[in-house]
Amino acid sequence: MKPIESMALVVNPSKSGARELAEEICRHPSLKKDHCLIMDSFPLHHSALDDFDVCCVIGGDGTILGVVAEAFRAQKPILGVNLGKLGFLATYTPDEIRDRIGQVIAGDYCTDQRSVIRCKLNDGSAQIALNDLVIKGNSINLIRLKVFHNEKRVAEYNADGLIFATSTGSTAYNLSAGGPILHPQTRSIAMTPICAHTLSNRGIIFPETAELRVECDCDSYLPNVSVDGRPLAESSSLFPMEISVEKDRITLLHDPDYSHYQMLRTKLNWV
């Protein structure tokens, strides 16, 4: 693969040792000092990654999700070092990156193209998600949502909410809610009801060409909407919203011997 000449390092300041590890990486002789920058605030501001080949995230999956929007806009790959708990996205451990950083900089890594979904809101704004879009009612009321696929009505859901997940996000909230695990190269949208009032309501996997529209029938209260765990401001102008798979994808960097199935076996305690 292409050697790395410059690197932006985004550290989660709440993670012990994150900045020290970033400084250690920056001192590597293969990286020039002026080609390396450490940042400790996210989400990243516009153009933060424009001058760098790679964004190295030191923290956990949540930290990676905080840089996704800018990395996707700039089309910069993400190298994740896990200081969190599970680490589905951040696949290098601190010891592994210390041992391997020279080879990674030299181009000894593999790339993993992941699809993202775009949510266009009724107010004209748009959000992208690497993991998921979640629509939920409040703690008291069920939420009533109508879903349309390419202008054809799918169903009306009375539930605690709906999850619209990418293949990457299929192992996050979607999995906890009983949704399917999708291979990361699957360019689909997995829609999973959260505690649907109609027991026959089940999740649906939509193709990458799907244009989904979600309407909300909730006059007395506003639903909670989050994108990759980030809550959006409550507003009646969010609906109807449109959800689709983006044509462009985001790139994750892994070790050459990375195996998605080995990662699942390890993280989910499979045999």
- CB burial of 219-229 (b: ≥16 within 10 Å; e: otherwise) equals eeebbbbbbbe
Of 166, 154, 161, nearest to 193 (Cα)? 161
| pLDDT value of position 154 | 97
Cα(149)–Cα(162) distance, rounded to whole angstroms?
15
Choosing from 61, 112, 132, 160, which is the catalytic residue? 61
| pLDDT value of position 256 | 95
Q: List domains and CATH numbers for the chain.
A: 7-109+255-267 (3.40.50.10330), 116-248 (2.60.200.30)
| pLDDT value of position 221 | 74
Cα(63)–Cα(163) distance, rounded to whole angstroms?
21
| pLDDT value of position 43 | 81
Cα(223)–Cα(216) distance, rounded to whole angstroms?
8
- The per-residue DSSP string of the chain comes to -PPP--EEEEE-TTSTTHHHHHHHHHT-TTS-GGGEEEE--SSPPTTTTTT-SEEEEEE-HHHHHHHHHHHHHHT--EEEEE-SSS-SS--B-HHHHHHHHHHHHTT--EEEEEEEEEEE-TTS-EEEESSEEEEE--SSS-EEEEEEETTEEEEEEEESEEEEE-TGGGGTHHHHTTPPP--TT---EEEEEES-SSTT---EEEPTT-EEEEEE--SSSPPEEEETTEEPPP-GGG-SEEEEEEEEEEEEEE-TT--HHHHHHHHTT--
Q: What angle do CA 111, 49, 127 make, to 5 degrees?
A: 80
- CB burial of 68-83 (b: ≥16 within 10 Å; e: otherwise) equals bbbbbbbebbbbbbbb
Looking only at the bridges linking them, the beta strands covering 224-227 and 230-231 are antiparallel
Residue 23's DSSP bridge partners are: none
Q: What angle do CA 160, 214, 199 make, to 5 degrees?
A: 40
For the question of residue 123 being annotated catalytic, the response is: no
Hey, how many other C-beta atoms are within 10 angstroms of the C-beta on 99?
11
| pLDDT value of position 58 | 97
Cα(163)–Cα(170) distance, rounded to whole angstroms?
10
| pLDDT value of position 208 | 96
Identify the segments of the chain with pLDDT beneath 70.
Answer: 220, 236
CA distances from 210 to 19, 238, 247 (A): 42, 20, 12
Half-sphere exposure of 115 (CA within 13 A, CB side): 22
